Structure 1
Amino acid sequence: MQDISVIILTFNEEKHIKRCIKSLLLFTDKIFIIDSGSIDKTVEIAESLGAKVVQNTWVNYAVQFNFGIQNNPFNTKWLMRMDADEYVLPELAEEINQKLGNITPEIAGMYIKRRVIFMDKWIRRGAYYPIWLLRIWRNGQGACEESWMDEHITLTTGKTIQLENDLVDHNLNNLTWWTQKHNLYAIREVIDLLNIKYNFRNFESVEPNFFGSQEQRTRFLKVKYASIPLFIRPIIYFLYRYIFRLGFLDGKQGFIWHFLQGFWYRFLVDAKVYEVYHRAGRDKKAIENFFKEEFNKDLTK
């Protein structure tokens, strides 16, 4: 077992949690789960596999994950972030076993490629692979940025390396669940896009930089995306991914994925932004009040 603990957030993940934990047991038995009130067998399954589970009321992903970092019962040198519907390939587990104990002191974080599986199809194109994510970092040298959407782990100091093998994101729920979840995601995405314009709150975040790390480049492109007119940007984004980045080569499942994730979801976000302007206007305080009344979300915190 390596000197690393893994933090996982859960809510009704009985379909995924056993697969996730068993993949992690190839290199660590220190698994810390922050559950937000699951009513299925998530907690029972996780505890049966040796995971430590605590309950915490959900606010957003960043708040929940930082709670996990701050209350981690395992005093390990390294921390790892996983989602419940992800799992580590055996090759990645072996690589972690080989490298973790031999990392030089100046290395503070490790990037891992995420492989997305949708309807049992690996989405290889459309700029969806490889996606490099900072998933392993030295304890005390990283935290989750407190944005409402697309949260990244940020390091306070140190250099990073890239691991060669993948982790896999393969959600087993049906398409109805997927669309309902992304409808909720859209509200958080609206808040993030509006925050770029209105700056509801200041927080330590990834610095936008096209020539920096992948998350810096992603943040740079998101800021640029926010400046494009409503309803035009989803069309541009979809065409870029599906045509110019060869998403059409991913077959029928790829077409469904790129259309829903690259157009439908982005169009839904714009429709919700339009609704905010339509119902609250463009005054900053009026928009803050709208989110408090409609969604019980305080944009200043």
Structure 2
Amino acid sequence: MISVAILTKNEEQDLPLCLASVKWSNDIHILDSGSTDRTIEIGKARSAKIWYNQFESFGKQRNYALDHIPFRYDWILFLDADEVMTQDFFVAMRQAILSAGPDVAGFYCCWKMIYENKWLKHCDNFPRWQFRLLRRDRARFKDFGHGQKEDKIIGRIEYLREPYLHYGFSKGWSHWINRHNRYSDQEASSRIYNRPPFGHIFSKHSSESIPALKSWLSDVPGWPLLRFVQAYLFNLGFLEGMPGLIYCVNMAYYEFLVQIKMRELRGKKHQKNGQPHQSTVVNPTIF
């Protein structure tokens, strides 16, 4: 069997569907970071075990779960509350685990981005990969941009190619914009202070190549516009109609936020090093 860990904060809207999709598991854990809505009530009503830890980052939160939650099974699936497993994903996951050799530490998983009940297939380089299914005591996480990636792997990682569903826009655009405004702070800092080596751009693993490419391209003037062109034209986002246009515009907007915050951070660093920006003082002239 498989244990399930779900990260939450004020997820009363999305949590019921997420929990319903993992009802096959008898070891479901919710790691909450201070919900003030009905999240905890919903979790308890569905027999999930509730844990609390103040959220710092996705990497630290997932490591807290690995360190403090007494999972019943060796295999652990990490989900966010706006993510939903399909029956096909469950079948593929179970088969992958049953056939996994002892040297397999876990699996990269991919997702379908859902907006207005539509899979946005053509906008964002499907499939994209995250490390979500792992053997206990065989892997850790580390912060990476506004998210996380695998760390301290004992063994090798394989790919689970059947996607789950991600309802990233379920709470509306105001929520999405506020959340990604926070994410862009972390992403800007990461792209300056923890930039991946340039060679990672050529990695065969998209979990390495795509973040590296974005990090280096964010120094290019007009990169947000290029991001839109890449998603909407080259990735055929226009085939998704208005949902595709909205999605691609907002992906470009997110890159714009990251870019201007990188500029801001560099300005602060410049001033901290004793090199304030010069301004020109014009002496008044009497005519």
Q: 2:255 aligns with which of 241, 266, 271?
A: 266
CA distance in 1, matches of 2:272, 2:60: 24
The more displaced of 231-240 and 5-14 is 231-240
What amino acid does structure 1 have at the position aligned with 2:188? V
In the TM superposition, residue 156 of structure 1 has moved relative to its aligned partner by: 1.5
Give the TM-score normalised by the residue count of structure 1. Answer: 0.83
CA distance in 2, matches of 1:147, 1:103: 27
Identity %: 27
Q: CA 1:284–1:60 in structure 2 vs 1: closer, same or farther (change >3 Å)?
A: farther
Task: Please say if residues 89 and 165 of structure 1, whose CA atoms lie closer than 8 Å, have aligned partners that are also in contact.
Answer: no
Give the TM-score normalised by the residue count of structure 2. Answer: 0.86
Q: CA 1:213–1:74 in structure 2 vs 1: closer, same or farther (change >3 Å)?
A: same
Q: CA 1:164–1:281 in structure 2 vs 1: closer, same or farther (change >3 Å)?
A: closer
Q: Is structure 2 residue 59 aligned with structure 1 residue 67?
A: no
1:186-228, Cα deviation, whole Å (9 max, x unpaired):
111111112136x9xxxxx9x93523322122233134224x2
Q: CA 1:236–1:146 in structure 2 vs 1: closer, same or farther (change >3 Å)?
A: same
In the TM superposition, residue 155 of structure 1 has moved relative to its aligned partner by: 5.2
1:126-163, Cα deviation, whole Å (9 max, x unpaired):
33422132221111111111334231123513233323
Task: Please say if residues 27 and 72 of structure 2, whose CA atoms lie closer than 8 Å, have aligned partners that are also in contact.
Answer: no
Q: 1:106 aligns with which of 103, 106, 111?
A: 103
Task: Please say if residues 8 and 83 of structure 1, whose CA atoms lie closer than 8 Å, have aligned partners that are also in contact.
Answer: yes
CA distance in 2, matches of 1:96, 1:193: 33
What amino acid does structure 1 have at the position aligned with 2:98? G
Q: CA 1:256–1:74 in structure 2 vs 1: closer, same or farther (change >3 Å)?
A: same
CA distance in 2, matches of 1:101, 1:55: 32
Is there any run of 5+ residues in structure 2 with no aligned partner, and where? 275-287
What amino acid does structure 2 have at the position aligned with 1:254? G
Q: Is structure 2 residue 77 aligned with structure 1 residue 80?
A: yes
CA distance in 1, matches of 2:264, 2:158: 43
2:242 alignment counterpart: 252
2:283 alignment counterpart: none
1:98-150, Cα deviation, whole Å (9 max, x unpaired):
44233221222122221000222211013342213222111111111133423
Q: 2:89 aligns with which of 84, 88, 92?
A: 92
1:289 alignment counterpart: none
CA distance in 1, matches of 2:273, 2:73: 44
CA distance in 2, matches of 1:8, 1:284: 40
Q: Is structure 2 residue 3 aligned with structure 1 residue 15?
A: no
In the TM superposition, residue 255 of structure 1 has moved relative to its aligned partner by: 0.3
1:68-126, Cα deviation, whole Å (9 max, x unpaired):
11112114211111111001011111223344233221222122221000222211013
CA distance in 1, matches of 2:201, 2:125: 19
Q: Is structure 2 residue 227 aligned with structure 1 residue 237?
A: yes
**How large is the RMSD of aligned CA atoms in angstroms?**
2.3
CA distance in 1, matches of 2:70, 2:130: 24
The more displaced of 34-43 and 167-176 is 167-176
What amino acid does structure 2 have at the position aligned with 1:105? P
Q: Is structure 2 residue 205 aligned with structure 1 residue 213?
A: yes
What amino acid does structure 1 have at the position aligned with 2:11? E
In the TM superposition, residue 285 of structure 1 has moved relative to its aligned partner by: 6.6
In the TM superposition, residue 47 of structure 1 has moved relative to its aligned partner by: 1.4
